[in-house]
């Protein structure tokens, strides 16, 4: 399955959605904010009404009181206007506050939802996407949604109300003058329709390269040791400069697209004012049209075109939010291809693990394992040996169901491995990866990770468990034992990390323990301790050891030779050495 977010095709369905669909999906996300949104909507509606009534009152005051010099009436209407403006202020505050909170809650929920989704996706997803791009989606793109809800949405709705209201007033008071004043609005409509897709595209491009920039930063930070050791700062600097330049150019285009509407809308507003002024003066001189009405008209033209200009800026913001939402939706639409399937048949066979005619290739790559069939029996120790790149780790990954075969079946305890829940499967399998990962905390925290059954143990109880599993000597390797601090993945030697991963996996008491080069960086004396621990695991534990060091595989019950995607029994230890040293090695 294609999990590459930057290469989704039409068949992947989520590639591009219409603005309408994107908006509909987005609204579903805030369905539990309905009450707040309705109150905010009412507030913005009232706000528009207050702002719309004011010019009418001003025109009325001019024609009725100012022209006839009745200053008591002027004072009265000034007071009424002051109250109306205060109410407008109150409603404006209310909807801004409510929508600000809706925005923050949505941001919180969307970030949680996206992160949880990412956690459910299979390893293939992480293989195909760069961490920096994902971080950018979780951080930056979700923030665009916050902007949309906290600022854009209600301002947009308020502006639309205002435009509609002002338009109605303009057409009712004097239809001909109103129509004349609205002619430039047609130009705006046309311009917006033509340029909106382009604006959206430019924003989407900008976000995409921003994701690329994050990925570049992440990669160089991750590989800083290599960069410094090889003195290749210039290499990464050059690569960074290239991506930064791309980001800069895309941002310039997006900015240009986003600001394009505003001056044009302003210009259209000015033209409309000129039209109304000219035509209004003509109407005053030829008909009974009053100065007060002309003043009201000019105010309504401002109330019509100002929010239009605002809508232009908000429209760009909206396009940006939709582009961000689409990038987030791409993640939300993905489903793990490693789903649990219903168990069709009862367990067949005694083997702990069985491969039946298994073929496998990584997504988008060539086939790595070709028609593999073998069985691993309970309580035995198996070694997988073979040249680099031969397929050992891939085989182990299929045993642990980090991937599913392209065809064929992997069985765990006689049942298709896909019929097990994640919890049931991982409870049976302990996998020590080639590159163990440590979290910040202490040695104890890292050991307890994945060993929830011991989380509530006191230190004494935990030490007792460690002693009974013969792991005490390994814990004592660390200066402060269980309390030795771990300040991130790079704060320990690879051998020390392997020790912690070993303790973690053995404490799980798995029925099947896979060690992928798990002792490659451990000194010979400590390795003997590990071997002793392995030898004293419960008699039912099956061990799969992947190793290049020959002494590690010496005591295996069975040795498999993995070469060029084929797995064959190597027979005796001597045979395995012959194959390794003199066999045809392809990878």
Ligand X SMILES: Nc1ncnc2c1ncn2[C@@H]1O[C@H](COP(=O)(O)OP(=O)(O)OP(=O)(O)O)[C@@H](O)[C@H]1O
Q: Which of 458, 428, 440, 430 is nearest to 545 (CA)?
A: 430
Residue with Cβ nearer ligand X (70 or 127): 127
Dist CA 520 CA 546 (whole Å): 10
| Residue 144: CB minimum distance to ligand X, A | 32
List C-alpha distances in Å: 115 to 16, 195, 322, 328.
21, 34, 19, 10
Residue with Cβ nearer ligand X (285 or 388): 388
**Binding site residues, ligand X, CB under 6 A:** 127, 362, 365, 368, 386, 388-394, 562
Dist CA 130 CA 7 (whole Å): 12
DSSP assignment of 320-380? HHHHHHHHHHHHHT---S-------S---SS-SEEEEEEEEE-TTS-EEEEEEEEEE-TT-
Residue with Cβ nearer ligand X (36 or 587): 587
Q: Which of 459, 403, 399, 461 is nearest to 432 (CA)?
A: 399
Residue with Cβ nearer ligand X (392 or 508): 392
Dist CA 426 CA 140 (whole Å): 34
| Residue 544: CB minimum distance to ligand X, A | 12
Residues 6 or more apart whose Cβ sits within 8 Å of residue 11: none
Residue with Cβ nearer ligand X (126 or 439): 126
Neighbours of 266 (CB within 10 A): 15
| Residue 123: CB minimum distance to ligand X, A | 8
| Residue 127: CB minimum distance to ligand X, A | 4
Query: Is the Cβ–Cβ distance between 276 and 297 less than 8 Å?
Result: yes
| Residue 399: CB minimum distance to ligand X, A | 12
Dist CA 584 CA 332 (whole Å): 46
DSSP assignment of 83-151? HHHHHHHHHHHHHHHHHHHHHHHHHHHHHHHHHHHHHHS-HHHHHHS-HHHHHHIIIIIHHHHHHIIII
Dist CA 25 CA 22 (whole Å): 5
| Residue 414: CB minimum distance to ligand X, A | 25
| Residue 565: CB minimum distance to ligand X, A | 8
Residue with Cβ nearer ligand X (442 or 563): 563
Q: Which of 571, 566, 579 is nearest to 369 (CA)?
A: 566
Angle between the 153-173 and 34-61 helix axes, to the nearest 10 degrees?
Answer: 30
| Residue 214: CB minimum distance to ligand X, A | 21
| Residue 391: CB minimum distance to ligand X, A | 4
Residue with Cβ nearer ligand X (17 or 395): 395
Residues 6 or more apart whose Cβ sits within 8 Å of residue 79: none
Residue with Cβ nearer ligand X (5 or 46): 5
Q: Which of 555, 218, 216 is nearest to 380 (CA)?
A: 555
Residue 209, helix vs strand vs coil = helix
Beta bridge partners of 571: 559
Residue with Cβ nearer ligand X (208 or 497): 497
Residue with Cβ nearer ligand X (334 or 562): 562
Residue with Cβ nearer ligand X (389 or 441): 389
Angle between the 175-222 and 153-173 helix axes, to the nearest 10 degrees?
Answer: 170
Dist CA 103 CA 29 (whole Å): 12
| Residue 511: CB minimum distance to ligand X, A | 23
Residue 238, helix vs strand vs coil = helix
| Residue 365: CB minimum distance to ligand X, A | 5
Segment (H or E) for 543: strand 542-546
Beta bridge partners of 431: 514
Residue with Cβ nearer ligand X (389 or 408): 389
| Residue 3: CB minimum distance to ligand X, A | 12
Residue with Cβ nearer ligand X (317 or 393): 393
| Residue 459: CB minimum distance to ligand X, A | 37
Buried b (16+ CB within 10 A) or exposed e, 446-465: bbbeebeeeeeeeeeebbeb
Residue with Cβ nearer ligand X (129 or 290): 129
| Residue 395: CB minimum distance to ligand X, A | 7
Residue with Cβ nearer ligand X (258 or 393): 393
| Residue 364: CB minimum distance to ligand X, A | 8
DSSP assignment of 412-478? ETTEEGGGS-HHHHHHHEEEE-SS----SEEHHHHHHTT-GGGTT--HHHHHHHHHHTT-HHHHHTS
Dist CA 148 CA 219 (whole Å): 31
């Amino acid at each position: 399955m294609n999990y590459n977010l930057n290469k989704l095709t039409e068949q992947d369905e989520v590639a591009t959605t219409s603005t309408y669909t994107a908006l509909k999906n987005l609204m579903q996300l805030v369905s539990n904010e309905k009450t707040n949104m309705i109150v905010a909507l009412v507030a913005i509606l009232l706000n528009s009404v207050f702002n719309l009534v004011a010019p009418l009152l001003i025109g009325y005051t001019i024609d009725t009181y100012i022209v006839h010099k009745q200053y008591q009436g002027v004072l009265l209407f000034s007071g009424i206007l002051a109250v109306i403006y205060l109410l407008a202020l109150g409603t404006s505050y209310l909807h801004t506050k409510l929508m600000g909170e809706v925005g923050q809650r949505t941001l919180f929920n969307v970030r949680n939802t996206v992160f949880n989704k990412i956690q459910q996706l299979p390893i293939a997803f992480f293989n195909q996407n760069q961490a920096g791009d994902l971080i950018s989606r979780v951080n930056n793109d979700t923030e665009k949604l916050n902007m949309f809800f906290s600022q854009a949405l209600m301002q947009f709705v308020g502006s639309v109300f205002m435009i509609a209201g002002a338009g109605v007033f303009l057409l009712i008071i004097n239809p001909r003058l109103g129509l004349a004043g609205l002619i430039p609005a047609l130009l705006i409509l046309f311009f917006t329709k033509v340029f909106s897709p382009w604006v959206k595209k430019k924003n989407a491009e900008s976000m995409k390269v921003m994701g690329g920039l994050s990925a570049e930063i992440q990669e160089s930070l991750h590989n800083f040791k290599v960069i410094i050791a090889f003195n290749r700062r210039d290499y990464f600097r050059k690569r960074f400069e290239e991506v930064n330049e791309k980001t800069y150019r895309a941002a310039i285009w997006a900015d240009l697209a986003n600001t394009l509407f505003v001056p044009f809308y302003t210009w259209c507003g000015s033209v409309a004012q000129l039209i109304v002024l000219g035509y209004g003066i003509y109407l005053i001189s030829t008909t009974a049209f009053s100065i007060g009405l002309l003043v009201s008209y000019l105010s309504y033209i401002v109330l019509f075109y100002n929010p239009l200009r605002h809508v232009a800026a908000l429209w760009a913001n909206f396009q940006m939010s939709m582009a961000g939402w689409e990038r987030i939706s791409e993640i939300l639409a993905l489903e793990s291809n490693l789903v649990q399937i219903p168990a069709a048949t009862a367990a067949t066979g005694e083997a702990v693990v069985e491969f039946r005619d298994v073929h496998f290739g990584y997504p988008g790559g060539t086939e790595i394992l070709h028609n593999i069939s073998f069985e691993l029996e309970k309580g035995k120790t198996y070694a997988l040996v073979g040249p680099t790149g031969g397929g050992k780790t891939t085989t182990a990954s299929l045993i642990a169901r980090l991937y599913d075969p392209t065809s064929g079946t992997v069985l765990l305890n006689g049942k298709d491995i896909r019929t097990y829940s994640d919890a049931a499967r991982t409870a049976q399998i302990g996998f020590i990866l080639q590159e163990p990962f440590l979290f910040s905390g202490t040695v104890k925290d890292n050991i307890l990770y994945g060993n929830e059954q011991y989380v509530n143990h006191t230190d004494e109880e935990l030490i007792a468990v460690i002693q009974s599993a013969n792991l005490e000597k390994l814990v004592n390797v660390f200066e402060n034992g269980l309390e030795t601090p771990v300040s991130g993945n790079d704060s320990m030697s690879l051998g020390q990390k392997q020790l912690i991963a070993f303790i973690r996996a053995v404490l799980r008491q798995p029925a099947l323990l896979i060690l992928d080069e798990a002792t490659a960086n451990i000194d010979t004396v400590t390795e003997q301790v590990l071997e002793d621990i392995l030898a004293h695991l419960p008699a039912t534990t099956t061990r799969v050891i992947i190793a290049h060091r020959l002494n590690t595989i010496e005591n295996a019950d069975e040795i498999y030779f993995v070469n060029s995607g084929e797995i064959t029994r190597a027979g005796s230890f001597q045979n395995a050495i012959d194959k390794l040293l003199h066999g045809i090695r392809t990878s």
